[in-house]
Structure formats: structure tokens, C-alpha cells
Amino acid sequence: MPETPVLERVLFSEEQLAERVAALGREISADYKGKQPLFVGILRGCIMFYADLLRNISVDCTMDFMCLSSYSGTSSTGEVRTMLDLRESIKGRHVVIVEDIVDTGLTLHYLMNNLKTRGAASIEICCLLDKPANRKAEVHPKYVGFSVENEFVIGYGLDYNELYRNLPYIGVFKK
């Protein structure tokens, strides 16, 4: 538990997360057989999900990361900035973007437009959580762990002002 009581309730336990992430790994592995996909993790929120998902990928694959920033506190600033770009070219690659949560969709909308100019063979989105109620830009994640209500969540990589990413479960943040 966090040192300060900041949780309204636990939303997804460690066991629920492990089970769902393993299922996503199996589904993606079946879809990408023989395609040697490139998994692009969006730092820093993706870290736990990325590490657990990739352990459940049974096809040959490579890893790369980007760091994007658009959030301050519990609300999106709307302005997306690339803090860290990919190391390798994605030309001709089958790219799977691994993201913690899609909220307004602004971050992934920006990222999709950016990556589409780089000549990938395909680009799909895999997000652990989808918060469709708050959407401001169109994005279509192909692989979704769980759909959530319009509440601010923390844990398993998700932060509030950089805290609570280390929680092994996901909970609703107490305002």
C-alpha cells in the first residue's frame, strides 16, 4: 500500500492484471506469427505493462521506446511533446505501440500521425486501459486490456505527479 492513503479502491488486482496481460500476449503472438514485430513502449507509463506483456510474446520481436509528455497532475495539457524518439528506423516494420491508457486520445493521435510518415508496414495500438468517455481525438486501439470509467487511476506504471507507478495493482485515485 502507498505510504499516504490515496486510493479510493483497487480496480484491478495483480492477479487480474496478470491474467489479462497474458491473454493479450497470446492474441498478439498469434496475429504476428512470422512478422517479427517491433514493440514501441511509450514511457514512462507503459513500463510494468510492457515488461509483463513482452514476457508473454512468443514470436521473435524487437523493442524500442519513446517518451511523450502531455500531462500535468490529473489533466492533459493538450500539447504533446516528444522527449525521447525511437533509436531505430521503423521502415517496413510491423509496429505495435504499447501504451498504458488512452484517455483524450491526443497523445496517440499525435503519435500515429508522426509514425505514419516513417514508412512502417503496419501500426497497431495495444493499450492496457481505455477510457473512452473522455475522447477528444480519434484513435482505434486494436488490443485493449480493460475499459474503464472516467476516473483517475494509479499504479502498475500509472502515476499521479510521478508517484505511485510502483504499485503492483491499479486503483482509483482519491481526489
100: contact with ligand IMP by CB under 6 A: yes
**By the rule CB under 6 A, 71 interacts with ligand IMP:** yes
- Active-site position among 52, 100, 103, 130: 103
| Nearest distance from C-beta of residue 11 to ligand IMP, angstroms | 10
d(CA 40, CA 52): 14
**Cβ-count burial of 73 within 10 angstroms (0-12 exposed, 13-18 middle, 19+ buried)?**
exposed
Nearest-angstrom CA–CA distance, 103 and 12: 18
- Judge contact between 105 and 76, C-beta under 8 A: no
| Interacting residue with ligand IMP among 47, 66, 96, 106 (CB under 6 A) | 106
100 is catalytic: no
Shortest distance, CB of residue 70 to ligand IMP, whole angstroms?
A: 5
- Is 11 a residue that touches ligand IMP (CB under 6 A)? no
User: What is the rounded distance in angstroms from the CA atom of residue 157 to the CA atom of residue 169?
Assistant: 9
Residues 167, 106: Cα–Cα separation, whole Å: 26
**Part of the chain binding ligand IMP (CB under 6 A), chosen from 21-29, 30-38, 48-56, 97-105:** 97-105
Decide: is 76 part of the binding site for ligand IMP (CB under 6 A).
yes
Binding site for ligand IMP (CB under 6 A): 45, 70-71, 76, 99-107, 152-153, 158-159
